Amino acid sequence: MTEIIPIGPYHPLQEEPEFFRLHVEGEKVTRVDIEIGYNHRGIEKLAESKSWDQVVFLVERICGICSTSHPAASVLCQEDIGGIEVPERAQYIRTIVCELERIHSHLLWLGLAGHFIGYNTVWMWCWKYREIVCDMLEKMTGNRQSYAMFKAGGVRRDVADEDVSWYRKELDKMKPALDLFKGAVMDDPVIHARTKGVGVLDMQHAVDYCVVGPTARASGIGIDVRKDDPYFAYEWLDWDIAVLPEGDVFAKTAVRILEMYESVKIIAQCFDKMKPGSVDARIKEIPPGEGIGRAEAPRGEVYHYALSDGSNFPARYKVRAPSYVNIFSNEYACVGYEVADAALVLAAVDPCYCCTERVMIVDDSRGKSGTMNENELIALSQAKTKRIQEAMGL
């Protein structure tokens, strides 16, 4: 006897197209079927009809949150084909944009996760401080999102020297904000009760599912493209990667918070070390050959492969977004936990469906199935938090 609870076709938390079919026995999840493809736009095919310059703009449209990660991998890929050297100043500017984006993306996720477990204050505060980062990006690139900053061989805009002191002042506001979030999450007994030991992806399964980014680092796998295969300015800077062994939702949250501190460190160093100079190598063409570009997006490694036949268009363009491997691991990480926890676990990999791409719940004991909408699932999750708070006398 099976009860199916469908969650989707929009992720109840992140309002993006996806479909999960949860098989449950009572409250326990016994199996998860994942369906993606609802947002498949054929970007790889489209890339074959765009010039190399346009491809960077095209891949920027893959994801609206980590919109600079795909262009980063794309320019690295094109530079790999041609063996192109990029001016140092451009590398620092690229690094700043990538790290600002990481902070804004992690804050966005942390806020949503807070809302989901009933902590609306965390949500509001996260999004308040995210504005600082978006303002910095707007001043630097002209846009809060989709910056169009990168091009093969350099960046499109220089950073004005007279603005640097303003950037530093704004960046200084982030440190106390991060302390606030760290305290709000790391020291809260209810958050511990809701997230510790929940959705555990152990190291062996993390290896088998080939997960990347904070999902891997929260399962004890210390991989980070910025360290392992350094690009842009990362190898000239002093910073650490955050690795935790537990593999649960708490570890995934903690890794992201710790990473934001490192991002602030990285950006500050970039401003220190940046020297005046050119920001564009002014490349003429991409020679024939194949190239690989990979960059550490907020969700993990973005991987681009391109084949050039020497013409102005890629002969083949392959994109692998981090959520493509991370979402698949939910097939394992959700099993054995309550339905009230499932959506939190599904969201803990910070899935990006635009990059990759819904939840049905099947009750194996009662033979029923039904769809849950966003409000029902959030209410279920928030009710669980309330029960825990009451049990703790809070």
Partner 1 sequence: MTWKTIEKKIHEKLDSRIQSWYTHNPRRIYIDIAQEDIEDVARFLFSDLKARFIIASAVDTPRGGIEILYHFDFARLPQVISVRIFVMKPELKTKSIASIIKGAEWIEREIAELFGVTFENHPNPVHLLLPEDWPEGKYPLRRDQ
Task: Assess 19 for contact with partner 1 (CB under 8 A).
Answer: no
Task: Assess 328 for contact with partner 1 (CB under 8 A).
Answer: yes
Please give the distance of CA 36 from its chain centroid, rounded to a whole number. 17
| 164 vs 207, beta carbon nearer partner 1 | 207
Task: Assess 227 for contact with partner 1 (CB under 8 A).
Answer: yes
Task: Assess 387 for contact with partner 1 (CB under 8 A).
Answer: no
Helix or strand or coil: residue 141? helix
Task: Assess 16 for contact with partner 1 (CB under 8 A).
Answer: no
Would you state the structure tokens that stand for residue 165, as one six-digit string?
Answer: 């002191």
Among 125, 209, 250, 261, binds partner 1 (CB under 8 A): 209
Task: Assess 230 for contact with partner 1 (CB under 8 A).
Answer: yes
DSSP 182-239: HHHHHT-HHHHHHHTTSS---HHHHHHTT--HHHHHTTT----HHHHS--TTGGGS--
Site string for partner 1, 262-291 (x = CB under 8 A): ---------------------------xxx
Q: Least distance (Å) from partner 1 to the CB of residue 236?
A: 15
As a residue count, the chain comes to 394
> Sign of the C-alpha dihedral, residues 322, 325, 326, 328?
positive
* # residues near partner 1 by CB under 8 A: 37
The span from the CA of 187 to the CA of 294, in Å, is 36
Task: Assess 223 for contact with partner 1 (CB under 8 A).
Answer: yes
- Cα angle value 96/181/299 (rounded, 5°): 50
Task: Assess 316 for contact with partner 1 (CB under 8 A).
Answer: yes
Locate tokens 């890929």: which residue? 77
The span from the CA of 110 to the CA of 127, in Å, is 9
Task: Assess 84 for contact with partner 1 (CB under 8 A).
Answer: no
Task: Assess 129 for contact with partner 1 (CB under 8 A).
Answer: no
Q: Least distance (Å) from partner 1 to the CB of residue 20?
A: 15
| 8 vs 111, beta carbon nearer partner 1 | 8
Which of 87, 107, 189, 91 has its CA nearest to residue 149?
91
- Cα angle value 93/96/101 (rounded, 5°): 130
Q: Least distance (Å) from partner 1 to the CB of residue 332?
A: 9
Q: Least distance (Å) from partner 1 to the CB of residue 36?
A: 7
Stretch that binds partner 1, among 37-45, 170-178, 182-190, 247-255 (CB under 8 A): 37-45
| 41 vs 387, beta carbon nearer partner 1 | 41
C-alpha distances in angstroms, 187 versus 112, 129, 192, 193, 223? 19, 20, 8, 11, 27
| 148-207 residues near partner 1, rule: CB under 8 A | 207
Task: Assess 318 for contact with partner 1 (CB under 8 A).
Answer: yes
Residue 160 has a CB neighbour count (10 Å cut-off) of: 11
Task: Assess 79 for contact with partner 1 (CB under 8 A).
Answer: no
Task: Assess 80 for contact with partner 1 (CB under 8 A).
Answer: yes
Question: Which helix (H) or strand (E) element contains residue 130?
Answer: helix 120-141
Judged by the rule CB under 8 A, the positions of this chain that interact with partner 1 are 36-37, 40, 42, 44-45, 80, 83, 207-211, 221-223, 227-230, 289-292, 294, 301, 303, 305, 307, 315-316, 318, 320, 324-325, 328, 357
